[in-house]
Amino acid sequence: MADHLEVALVAAERTVWQGQAKIVIARTTDGDVGILPGHAPLLGLLQGGTVQVRTVDDEYFVAAAPDGFISVANNRVSILAENAEMGHDIDLEEARRELEEALATGSETDEATDEVRLAEARVRAAEQTS
């Protein structure tokens, strides 16, 4: 059995992060899932906005990924999200302002809901990183 996971966090237009990890933690529609080497195959819908990774070098990072899929098979973890961003690349104060603006619109459209979800995920990722 392998002692690590091969992880790829991919946004619609680019690979956000790729590397080896000891553990990946994500929230899915079925609840939080922690993935270690040897994990059973899994396909899930992301919910909650952040993905946490502990690399084989003991680095820890959080990424904002509000909507998407997670797939696990043969010690490979693929996280596919329309929008994904590393927490350390997010300006926390700017993300908070964007969240306030998104909440202030008060619109009930799917687009407005998506904007709020993305803004919330960015704030959480930045807060967990700092």
Structure tokens, 86: 């590393």
105 CB-near residues (< 8 Å, 6+ apart): 112, 115
Identity of the residue numbered 6: E
If DSSP codes are grouped into helix, strand and coil, which group holds residue 121? Answer: helix
pLDDT at 64: 96
Q: What is the pLDDT of residues 43-53, one digit of tens each?
A: 999 987 899 99
Instruction: Assess contact for 72 and 93: CB atoms under 8 A.
Output: no
Per-domain residue ranges for the chain? 5-86, 90-129
* Contact status, residue 6 vs residue 25, Cβ threshold 8 Å: no
CB count in 10 Å sphere of residue 118 = 23
Residues of the chain with pLDDT under 50: none
Burial of 1 per CB tally in 10 Å (0-12, 13-18, 19+): exposed
Q: Tell me, what's the pLDDT at 1? A: 64
Which CATH number is associated with domain 5-86?
A: 2.60.15.10
Question: Among residues 98, 104, 93, 68, which one has the least CA distance to residue 83?
Answer: 68
Task: Give the Cα-Cα-Cα angle 28, 78, 43 (nearest 5 degrees).
Answer: 45
Q: Give the DSSP H or E segment for 107.
A: none
29-66 pLDDT, tens digit each: 999 999 999 999 999 999 878 999 999 999 999 999 98
